[in-house]
Amino acid sequence: MFTVFVDPAAAPTDKRRQCITKACQDIGVNIDFVPQRVERTISWCPPLNAPPSALSDIQQEVVALLEAEEAVNMIFAHMQLKQGEDTDDISLTKWVESLQSALSGQNLTVIIIGLSKYFRKRKLNDRQQHRELVTGKPSRGRKKVTPAGPCISTEDAEEAFVDVQLFTGCVVQDVADDEELAAQLKFYTKAVRDKPAKKNRFESAFSFLDEGTSGLSVNKSGQGLAKVWKHQLMQFKNFSAEMADAVMNSYPSPQLLHQTCQSCSTAEAERLIGDINVRRSASVISTNRKIGKEHARRIHKFMTSTDSEEIVK
């Protein structure tokens, strides 16, 4: 069975353990709290009967957890280094690089827990201080809360996150509490579990070419041109074989379609293409639909553009 391995140091409280366990149970996967090679990391393992390629894909992913207090110190050290100041503390980028070195090329994602809570406390503290300065009296009714550690802003954190991603390729995310952490791990686990099945979905730019990546053959008599035209149409985004057949019934060759696009205004040509009927199947319960405006726009752009570098979106 698919299993999530959580380092015990990543779930130091019963509440966090319970949240993570429930999230795994909700999607039908096992969870095991066992020491990992790198402390406070989470990894995944497929069933024993999974093919070697799936094992490699799934074990490539690792998540590391970081508490907000430590993250604040690392972000503050990062800002000090950016400003040319000396510091004995490790910066967030250096910490991520040390993890990546220990993980030997695995894909690392870092989740910081409670950083948004730190910023809320900092904001509340700033408001209380401002109120005291204005009124000249200490705030009443609410205990003054000052976050421990150095003072950083949300802009400092965002800048540090961007630098980490630029220099290490690692994505840093922030979750508010244990419940949000469990929800995020639930999302990651589903994505990692489905990774092998989806890996090859978009590997080929022309996945519809069942004859192979070398393309289609056309003999001297022109046999095979119809298939080439059909597959050319199917290169458009979400353009099915039935839609390609419908266009070919109206315009058996690219030249005929090109002539139509050139001889009409843009609006008229797109209307003609968009109104082409598409029959979804040949059975008695077959349904009809039209090519539609968006597909018509793409086809017309492809047929009329004079810019060889233009990308048809």
* 228/110: higher pLDDT: 110
Tens of pLDDT, residues 121-152: 887 776 666 566 667 666 665 555 555 568 89
Where b means 16+ CB within 10 Å and e means fewer, 285-312 reads eeeeeebeeebbbbbbbbbeeeeeeeee
Tell me whether residue 194 is exposed, middle or buried, using C-beta atoms within 10 angstroms of its C-beta: 0 to 12, 13 to 18, 19 or more: exposed
Q: What is the pTM of this model?
A: 0.61
Domain ranges for the chain: 3-198, 225-304
* 238/75: higher pLDDT: 75
Question: In which residue are the tokens 């019934």 written?
Answer: 249
Total residues found in the chain within this entry: 313
* 211/184: higher pLDDT: 184
CA end-to-end span of the chain: 41
Question: In which residue are the tokens 């003072």 written?
Answer: 151
Q: For the chain, count helices (H), then strands (E).
A: 12, 8
3-class secondary structure, 174? strand
CB 4 within 8 A of CB 189: yes
Tens of pLDDT, residues 187-243: 999 999 988 877 755 454 444 444 443 456 667 777 788 888 888 888 888 888 888
CB 174 within 8 A of CB 115: yes
CATH architecture of 3-198: 3-Layer(aba) Sandwich (3.40)
Query: Which superfamily does CATH assign the domain made up of 225-304 to?
Result: Crossover junction endonuclease EME1, DNA-binding domain (1.10.150.670)
- For residues 169-176, average pLDDT: 94
d(CA 268, CA 256): 15
Work out the percent of the chain whose per-residue pLDDT is above 90.
47
Work out the percent of the chain whose per-residue pLDDT is above 70.
84
Structure tokens at 25: 């149970």
CB 248 within 8 A of CB 274: no
Distance (Å) of CA 271 to CA 11, 78, 239, 258, 275: 59, 57, 17, 15, 6
Return the pLDDT at 208: 45
